[in-house]
Structure 1
Amino acid sequence: MKVLVAGAGLGGLCLAHGLLRAGVDVRVLEREDGPHSRYQGFRIALNAHGLDALHACLPERLHALLAAVSGPMAGERRVVDQRLREVRRLGPADEGTATDRYVLRQLLLAGLADRVEFGRPVVGYTERADGTVEAHLGDGGSAVGDLLVGADGVGSAVRRRLLPRAEVVTLPGNAVLGRTPLTARFAALVPGFGTVVHGAAASMLLGRMEFRRPPRLAAAELAPDVRLPDTGSYLRWVVMPTEPLPAGPRPWEAVRTDLLARLDDWHPDLLDLVRQADVVNSAPLTARYAEPVPHWGGSRRVTLLGDAIHPMPPSGGQGANTALRDAALLARTLAAVQRGSAELPAAVEQYEQRMLEYGFVAVADSLRRLPDVTPAR
């Protein structure tokens, strides 16, 4: 059996590892020019589903490295005003393990050099009469397999072809994501799990990404063949203005200037947090989510996972975890096909039914957990 995966994000790479462990031939086709070609996001929370999926799919030799380059996500949650005066406490939280999206992606690329093809976007496909599927690539080429998995994100070309009426909604307003190197001064802003700042012009969410061990050094000791970036611990922050910032792509310096103008009466520590943000890893954010879709019926040689089918806002911390869960479930499903204990079309349909159920529950939960940007009274 040969599986084609469109997209080398977290879900697609996790799936590739799981398939290789099951002896399935897999080829990952990625639109980016290389593994370092764009901004990859920042801290994500790995809950039980996400961690279980990674442990099920990654080679066991990488489990210790995964633990070493993660960090805690537990402690008291507090709400403060723009001058850092405490308004209330929300109680303790424990959401598992924090990890950095870019570091995790580099770890997931380990051992897949001969399986991932960069600069080869899947732009469409044809289901062939012989029961195979042909993926059409942006460079004019093609690839043929027994199954095509669309793991190509919220703008998925595979989803547009498979489900042309599926609706992805852009949430109103905009936000700014930033990360600033963690110092003792900035660490004091988040003494526990996280801090919410409510001001008249904006709200801000703060959280730590504090690695247990520096990623590059941990890889050198625990898995010398794996190269991880020299990423330091940082404070992750998100600002949601009550009035939208100017739309359209702009240099970070212009975004930061507009943002600081909105926050001119905020505490100096918060202003400096924005001023000292990492230019490469700070950017405006547009949040989207998918409206639920029923199963499309019939047995196909094409399926979807992650943001390609159920994108959701980051408020619930479930997007990456749900994609990883999809990957592990699909890997188990296809392993049964590889062993001869299941038929491919029926097995894929069973995966889809389960994935659609929990995936859109996660979307609804993330929408319910969107923060209220109305200042506390």
Structure 2
Amino acid sequence: MSKPILISGGGLASLLLARSLVRSKIPCVVFERDQAIDFRGQGYRLRLSAEGLDAIEEVLGPDGFADFYGRCGKTGGMGFSEFDAVSGEQTEHKIPEGLSSREGKVVGISRGDMREAFLQGSEGCVQWGKQVKGYEETADGVKAIFSDGTYSEEGAMLVAGEGLKSEVAKQLSGGMLKVYDTGARGIHGQASTTAFKGLGEGVFRLRDNTDKNAELMIITNVRPGEMDDPNIKFGWTMVGAPGVVRAPNDDYSIIGKDAADLAKRLTKDWHPKFKPLFNEMDELEAAFWKITISTPTGVPEWPNSPRVTVIGDAAHSMTPAGGIGANTAVRDSALLGRLLKEAGGYKEGITAAYEKEMRVYASEAVKSSWGMAKGQFGLSDSDLTTTVRAGHD
């Protein structure tokens, strides 16, 4: 039996790659640090671009994609609208180029639902409670090293998909793959659909720029067909300029009432029609988050390793501006899965071919994400002063 493809991390890119390999009958093992797929909060809703949907469809095939697409929400009609959060007045209305992805609609799905969909059919490939902290290449393969010092079985190849704090990415690139803290902070929140009725259908940005140095905004997607079911929740994402959103003790891993209370305080002067988003929120689901980005000039070129490569946020972390990150991650999965399928499994030269193509579209995406973030969140290059991941510190 051929050696499996080892995949570190059980995020979107990793699980979609595993699904691709299973469909191609290529053995693989996914190592995920969590104990289960719903072990912790799964973050916010993701907008899927045309490129992202095409990549997912390539991997899942017609039947699998039909099931996945059926889970997605489709928002149309109203397009994109921006409101002054304090006065309640509409300041912008348009259908931005690239916002719609299929059938003239904005297509989106929660991160948790997306992971569950990708996991279907490859459940037996995942080993839960296994955190990868590095790797060791052998004479004819590679082994993952876990946080407890033990080693995995020998694999033909290791794919790092464990996110922006990837230890494998640090080791592989010798510190060239860096993730910067932009200084901007946010809060994710959820509320019953009834809290969103005052908005109607569409994609909305609520902007509070009363203080130009303390700008705050909310982005939310209100979908049709679910507005009258109070058991369904819609999410919103709050983003504040550096210094505006501050978690207690600077701990951005906090989930729950502390995050909910801060969201309510920050929006206390907002127009009454927006208040239900916060007054009716599920406080237990609120969560802080840091906004980070990889080197804005693009994905660097490190000495290629035939046995090890990176996908998703481990290779290119992005801000939420434009919703580009997840779509780029699934493109990685489709590309690498296709190369492995065409080769019938591991073959020398695959990581080099993958990285060459990935750097082109991913570098463009990172640059675009940073450009939009500077405009939307009031950031500048000088805000990139602290690295989340760099070298072996």
1:333 alignment partner in structure 2:
339
Secondary structure of the 1:170 match is strand
Distance 1:34 1:20, change over 3 A: same
2:324 alignment partner in structure 1:
318
Letter in 2 for 1:10: L
Matches within 5 A, 1:134-283: 134-139=143-148, 140-166=150-176, 167-183=178-194, 185-200=195-210, 202-208=215-221, 210=223, 232-240=232-240, 243-246=244-247, 247-249=250-252, 250=254, 252-283=256-287
The answer to whether the 8 A contact 2:216-2:244 is kept is: no
2:300 is aligned with 1:289: no
What CA distance in whole angstroms lies between the structure 2 residues aligned with 1:209 and 1:99?
A: 12
The answer to whether the 8 A contact 2:260-2:283 is kept is: no
Shift in Å, 1:57: 1.4
Letter in 2 for 1:367: W
Shift in Å, 1:244: 3.8
1:221 alignment partner in structure 2:
none
Matches within 5 A, 1:100-115: 100-115=110-125
Shift in Å, 1:163: 1.4
Q: TM-score, normalised by structure 1?
A: 0.86
The number of equivalent residue pairs is: 354
Superimposed CA distance per residue, residues 7-52 of structure 1 (whole angstroms, 9 cap, x where no aligned partner): 1111001101111121211111111111111111121011122111
Letter in 2 for 1:243: V
Q: Select between 248-257 and 90-99 the one with higher mean Cα deviation.
A: 248-257
Distance 1:259 1:194, change over 3 A: closer
Letter in 2 for 1:303: T
Matches within 5 A, 1:20-59: 20-59=22-61
2:312 alignment partner in structure 1:
306
1:355 alignment partner in structure 2:
358
Shift in Å, 1:259: 3.1
Superimposed CA distance per residue, residues 206-230 of structure 1 (whole angstroms, 9 cap, x where no aligned partner): 322538689xxxxxxxxxxxxxxx9
Q: Select between 347-356 and 75-84 the one with higher mean Cα deviation.
A: 75-84
Superimposed CA distance per residue, residues 56-82 of structure 1 (whole angstroms, 9 cap, x where no aligned partner): 112543322212211124433222222
2:384 alignment partner in structure 1:
none
Superimposed CA distance per residue, residues 238-278 of structure 1 (whole angstroms, 9 cap, x where no aligned partner): 24266342422445322332332232221233233113222
Q: Select between 6-15 and 199-208 the one with higher mean Cα deviation.
A: 199-208
Shift in Å, 1:189: 2.0
Shift in Å, 1:354: 0.7
Distance 1:244 1:213, change over 3 A: closer
Distance 1:349 1:123, change over 3 A: same
What CA distance in whole angstroms lies between the structure 1 residues aligned with 2:72 and 2:255?
A: 31
Distance 1:306 1:298, change over 3 A: closer
The answer to whether the 8 A contact 1:180-1:235 is kept is: yes
What CA distance in whole angstroms lies between the structure 2 residues aligned with 1:231 and 1:34?
A: 24
What CA distance in whole angstroms lies between the structure 2 residues aligned with 1:190 and 1:203?
A: 22
Superimposed CA distance per residue, residues 316-358 of structure 1 (whole angstroms, 9 cap, x where no aligned partner): 201111110000000010112117xxx7221220110111121
What CA distance in whole angstroms lies between the structure 2 residues aligned with 1:156 and 1:236?
A: 27
Q: TM-score, normalised by structure 2?
A: 0.83
Residue ranges of structure 1 left out of the alignment (5+ in a row): 215-229
The percent of aligned pairs where both chains have the same amino acid is 28
Residue ranges of structure 2 left out of the alignment (5+ in a row): 102-106, 379-393
The answer to whether the 8 A contact 1:42-1:281 is kept is: no
Letter in 1 for 2:189: G
Q: Select between 245-254 and 118-127 the one with higher mean Cα deviation.
A: 245-254
The answer to whether the 8 A contact 1:290-1:311 is kept is: yes
